[in-house]
Each structure stands twice: as structure tokens, then as C-alpha cells.
Amino acid sequence: MIAIIDYGVGNLASVNKAFSFIGVESAITFDPAEILAAGKVVLPGVGAFADAMNSLEKTNMISVIEKVVEKGTPLLGICLGMQLLFDYSTEGGDRVPGLGLLKGSVTQFPSDMGLKVPHMGWNSLSIKQGEGIFKGIRENSYVYFVHSYYLTAADSSHVAATCNYGITYDAAVAKGSIMGTQFHPEKSGDVGLDILRNFAAL
């Protein structure tokens, strides 16, 4: 069973529906015991970084997520959920600490790119890791993004895919049991469903 963490922030129903569509059992839950017993865990997220971290703290999910990682249970962060895995975000003007499970920072797209922010819609991926959640995913596959802030991972070996939107940024990461996608696989058509299938098959 895949546990989708309910901490009051996120695209819960659409992720759950996507797993159901591909025949994978999943459940939206805030029960620590259920999350820790799950075979895999998803950390979704939509909205502001600081609000999401506050929600994780208030629901006592930070320690639960840390235990998930300690156990080696596959963990997938989606969109803001991926950003939360890292050291900090500058959203709001200050450095807001994240979970610090991976090293890196989240910053706003430059205002002088000449492109609309947020980055919203379909864009192509440059695949850096062809295994794991990207097994069988073709180079330049298109996926769906909605975000104003982007990740820069401190260790390039953890970058599973990049994307270009005025600048080239880290669009997906993978280190051991920890994975993340800036894009929404549950909204990315057949490619996104294949990524979720790969996650479920880990």
C-alpha cells in the first residue's frame, strides 16, 4: 500500500485517483502508524513553502517522514513536496528551513527571463537517471508543471532530470529511497502514469 501523507496541504485526491487508475492501492492518511507501515510513501504539496512546513510541524509529520527515510521506505515528494525535502527556500524573502533530507535550495525564477511566472503548463525533461522512477521514460518527454520557485540541488549526482524554462533547473531528484518531482506526474498523462507505475514497482 502507498500512503499519501495528509497534512492539510496538497493535491491529495488527484494523486490518489492516479494510483487507483493504474491499479495500485493507495490511501490518503494522517495516521503515523499507517504511514510507517506503508510499503511506499508520497509527500504531496501545493502552495507556500513556509505554510507547508508549519503544517508538517503542527501535524507532527516531520518526525514521521524522518522515520520513513530511516527505514528506507521509498518516499516520493511531488511539486512543493519535493522542495520540502531540501535545506531551505527563499520564498517570502527569508530562508525558510525545509526538511533537510537532501542538500540544496529553492529560489524564485529570475524576474528578467522574459517568461511568465509561474512556470505553468507542459515542458520537456532532460533525463539524467534512466532507472528508478524514470525507467523507460524517453528523453524530452513532456510533463506538467505549476511553480514559481525552482530547485538547485547541491549534489548533481542526485539530479534525476532537468528542465529548461529560461534557465535550466533541477526538475527531479533521486537519492537512495528518496525521490522527488517538481512536475505533477498525476497530471502528466501517460508519461506521468508510467512514472507512478515505476514508483509503485520499486
Q: Which residues contact 161 (CB under 8 A, 6 or more apart)?
A: 125, 126, 127, 128, 129, 134, 170, 171, 172, 181
Please state, in angstroms and rounded to a whole number, the distance separating the CA atoms of residues 45 and 137.
Answer: 24
70 is catalytic: no
The one catalytic residue among 119, 147, 158, 184 = 184
Residue in 91, 147, 163, 186 annotated catalytic: 186
Q: What is the mean pLDDT of residues 69-93?
A: 96
Q: Is residue 57 among the annotated active site residues? A: no
Catalytically annotated residue among 79, 119, 147, 158:
79
Domain 2-201, what architecture? 3-Layer(aba) Sandwich (3.40)
* pTM reported for the whole predicted model: 0.97
Concerning whether 186 is annotated as a catalytic residue, the answer is yes
Q: What is the pLDDT of residues 7-62, one digit of tens each?
A: 988 779 999 999 999 999 999 999 999 999 999 999 999 899 999 999 999 999 99
